[in-house]
Amino acid sequence: MGKKSFRLCYRCPFFLCFFLFLIAGRANAQVKTPQQKLDSIFAVDKAHPAADSMKLVIYKAIYRQYIRMRNKEKQDEYIDKSIALAKKLNLRSFEGDAYYRRALGFHGVANYRKAEENYLLAIEAYKMANDADAVAGTYLNMGALYQGIPDYAQALAVSQKAITIYQQNGNDSDLASVYTNIAGIYKDLGQNSNALNYLNKALKIFLDGDVKRGVAIVYNTIGSTYFDASDAELVKMGVKSSQKYDKALENLNKSLKVGIELDDPTVLGPLHRDLGLLYEKMGKRDLALQNYLKSIKYAGQVNNKTDLGSVLIALGSFYAQDKDYTKAMPLLTEALKI
């Protein structure tokens, strides 16, 4: 319950802002379709034949748009073009960004080997560009990756590398993200009291910085930390066994309040799964079913196979307990495929 979510890092240097200005200048008043947005980028691409840094900005916009459109063949084509030109121009940050985006795609569908391979290539490129913050951000994601395998020793090792860089740079927001991932590792190891300590550190940073997505994720994880804590861990956490579900629900509802405000499916998907699990344990099966179905909807919106697989297992098991095997078997079979 309550698996973490890995972080995305967005940067907008001057030349990217200028490129976005060019695209906006071509836009009409109406909202454009994804294909129309892509056509606008290609119009700028055609008007700029030079193989320079601006071309890299254009390639990056193209492959990101193909990612949004879920066209893997074309996104890979332009990621490859970006990598080749970045190496030729010795603009290694663009090379790192391309590998990083490819890694995120593999990570999202639980292809851990290919994700790791591309994260490591991104780190190599970012180091050559002397971009320490991007290196740390990639280590942060690798911590989540290794936790998913699971390889907890590797997860803690890369997380510590990220912490060292963020502390040196004074990057509190991303430091909080690492604390959240480390909490997830300790939670998986059954050390929920240690997890709660790291979550409280992360929550303070996110609340102080008004980082709403971080606040929502941490409240979710705190709720699940109470939910699945052993009696021995609950004692260390200062909570009675009879209070665990109430403490869990309190924090999940805090997460839900922020999540609804954000309207972010990457937050709401895992959250509704965890609410479903909690309500099921509390004997509130109607509420459990409602939340499982919402979780499936949100996981499908972002094509997150890991989250989708976990909620399919939860809902399949839910139906199996009701001996409704005609509904349970397709869900569990689909989860097995994932």
Of 196, 229, 254, the one marking the end of a domain is 254
Same domain, 30 and 4: yes
**Does 330 map to a domain?**
yes
Same domain, 14 and 120: yes
Of 112, 127, 142, the one marking the end of a domain is 127
Structural domain including 6 reads 1-127
CB 30 within 8 A of CB 206: no
CB 188 within 8 A of CB 182: no
- Report how far Cα 2 is from the mean position of its chain's Cα atoms: 13
Conformation bin of residue 263: beta by default, left when phi > 0, alpha when psi is -120 to 50: left
| pLDDT tens-place values along the chain, 338 residues long | 644 444 444 444 444 444 544 454 554 445 689 999 999 999 999 999 999 999 999 999 999 999 999 999 999 999 999 999 999 999 999 999 999 999 999 998 889 999 999 999 999 999 999 999 999 999 999 999 999 899 999 999 999 999 999 999 998 989 999 999 999 999 999 999 999 999 999 999 999 999 999 999 999 999 999 999 999 999 999 999 999 999 999 999 999 999 999 999 999 999 999 999 999 999 999 999 999 999 999 988 887 788 888 999 999 899 899 898 999 898 898 888 87
Same domain, 58 and 98: yes
Q: What is d(CA 152, CA 143) in angstroms, rounded to the nearest whole number?
A: 9
**Distance from the first to the final alpha carbon of the chain:** 18
Residue 99: helix, strand or coil by DSSP?
A: helix
Q: What is d(CA 249, CA 333) in angstroms, rounded to the nearest whole number?
A: 30
